[in-house]
Amino acid sequence: MKNIVELRGVSVIYDSLAALQDVSLEVRFGEWLAVMGPSGSGKTTMMNIIGCLDKPTRGSIIFDGEDISHARLKDLTAIRREKIGLIFQQFHLVPYLTALQNVMLAQYYHSLVDEKEALKALERVGLRERSSHLPKELSGGEQQRVCIARALINYPKLILADEPTGNLDETNEKIVIDIFKGLNAEGSAIIVVTHDREVAQYADRVVRLGHGKIAAQEKDRLTFPPISL
């Protein structure tokens, strides 16, 4: 199957510190990949590279068949806008826009604002009734679901989630995972960076990072022993 993203010998070096070292990884269209590892293992750096938020020091990245290793920032922005849905641990919603407007914000910078479609996206994450609420009027789980609605509004080829359940309780964690399951079933590729084995267990494949390198990979669901964090 064709790859949505492919890292070839990617290294990211900040001053003299290697955040990622010679990492090679392929993620297929429609695959759900979990990236695990202790703090400082390079998970977020990998997410930034795959999410076109940063550039590698060495190596190459092929995204949707295109080598973007030396792409200009403007081009990386276009890829994020067109092909990637980003979800963050801290939610990151614009505080003075309602849930609906936060979703429409992604539409605005992508193409045209369509309120009906934005409402549909909110309905999908179970928040249609809360569409006119400001982020401060929503619980953490609800804010994260607004982020998910914003991430999926432009039909991205890849959903990239950094610790999406890190700040959620068990009930909201389950809701978020169910949404991911639905998206994955519809064919979206999902990369989830997580500490949580519960979250990782639903992935098709788990990649474990350690000291900026891929320490282990497990295909077809999580079977390797618990990671000591």
Partner 1 sequence: MFIQMIKGAFKRQTGKFVMIAVTAALGVCAAAAMLNIMLDVGDKVNQELKAYGANITVRPKFASILSDVYAEDDAERDFIAEKDVLKLKTIFWAHNIVDFAPFLTMQTSINGGDYRLVGTWFNKELDLPTGETVVTGIIGLKSWWQLEGEWLKDDAAGEVMLGSIAAERLNLTAGSLVEIEGRDYLVRAVFSAGGEEDEDIYLPLAAVQELSGNYGKAAYIDLSALTTPENELARKAAQDPSSLDRDDYETWYCTAYISSITYQIEEAIPNARAKAVLQISQSEGAILNKIQLLMLLLTALTLICTALGISNLVTAYVIEKSVEIGLIKAIGALDMQITLLVLAQVMISAIVGGVVGYFSGLKVASILGRAVFNAVIEPSVLTLPIVSILLILTVLFGSIPAIKILLLTRPAVVLHG
**Which residues are at the interface with partner 1 (CB under 8 A)?**
44, 48, 51, 53-54, 73-74, 77-78, 80-82, 86, 88, 90, 92, 94-97, 101, 104-106, 108-110, 113, 150, 162
**CA 186/CA 197 separation, integer angstroms:** 23
- DSSP assignment letter at 68: -
Nearer to partner 1, 146 or 222 (CB): 146
In Å, what is the CA distance from 88 to each residue of 57, 145, 159? Answer: 24, 11, 11
Nearer to partner 1, 44 or 165 (CB): 44
- DSSP assignment letter at 30: T
Instruction: For residue 44, give the amino acid letter.
Output: T
Q: Spell out the SS3 assignment of 145-207.
A: HHHHHHHHCCCCCEEEEECCCCCCCHHHHHHHHHHHHHHHHCCCEEEEECCCHHHHCCCCEEE
Q: From the CB of 25, what's the least distance to partner 1, in Å?
A: 18
Q: From the CB of 162, what's the least distance to partner 1, in Å?
A: 7
Nearer to partner 1, 15 or 220 (CB): 15
Nearer to partner 1, 17 or 73 (CB): 73
